[in-house]
Amino acid sequence: MKSRSRMLPGRAALGAAVVLPLALMFGAGAQAAQWENGQELYDNLCGKCHKPEVGVGVPIQGRGLPFEYVKAIVRNGFRAMPAFPEAYIDDESLAQVTEYIASLPAHQPKQK
């Protein structure tokens, strides 16, 4: 039977192996913007579904969506859109992409 003092270092190592990556992943949101600018975020993530020519998600460009609305949808997801935690898209990057999509011309659906 192992003594209690011999078991603790193994548990501490296991705890560190689990906690440290999570702390690093979720602590990233407190740093500077993770994306270079709003256009980079839109082109490499949001636009993969929301660009009008893609036709997967609703077009979001030029709609003047407020930051709090964008943040709520991004953090919680909506219908087919998945949620993105702050560790993946920080608030500063969300603010930048909100400004960027507001600066784009509104999508004009083609007339049939």
What pLDDT was estimated at residue 32?
65
Which entry of 1, 17, 32, 80 is annotated as an active-site residue?
Answer: 80
Could you tell me which residue, 7 or 49, shows the higher pLDDT? 49
Which entry of 28, 33, 81, 87 is annotated as an active-site residue?
Answer: 81
Exposed, middle or buried, 15 (CB in 10 Å: 0-12/13-18/19+)? exposed
Cα 86 to Cα 35: distance, rounded to the nearest angstrom: 12
Of the candidates 99, 44, 49, 47, the residue with the CA atom closest to the CA atom of residue 70: 99
What pLDDT was estimated at residue 10?
54
Reply yes or no on whether 80 is catalytic: yes
Note the pLDDT tens digit of each residue in 26-78: 554 445 678 999 999 999 999 999 999 998 999 999 999 999 999 999 999 99
Residue 19 has pLDDT above 90, yes or no: no
Task: Give the CATH superfamily of 31-103.
Answer: Cytochrome c-like domain (1.10.760.10)
Reply yes or no on whether 32 is catalytic: no
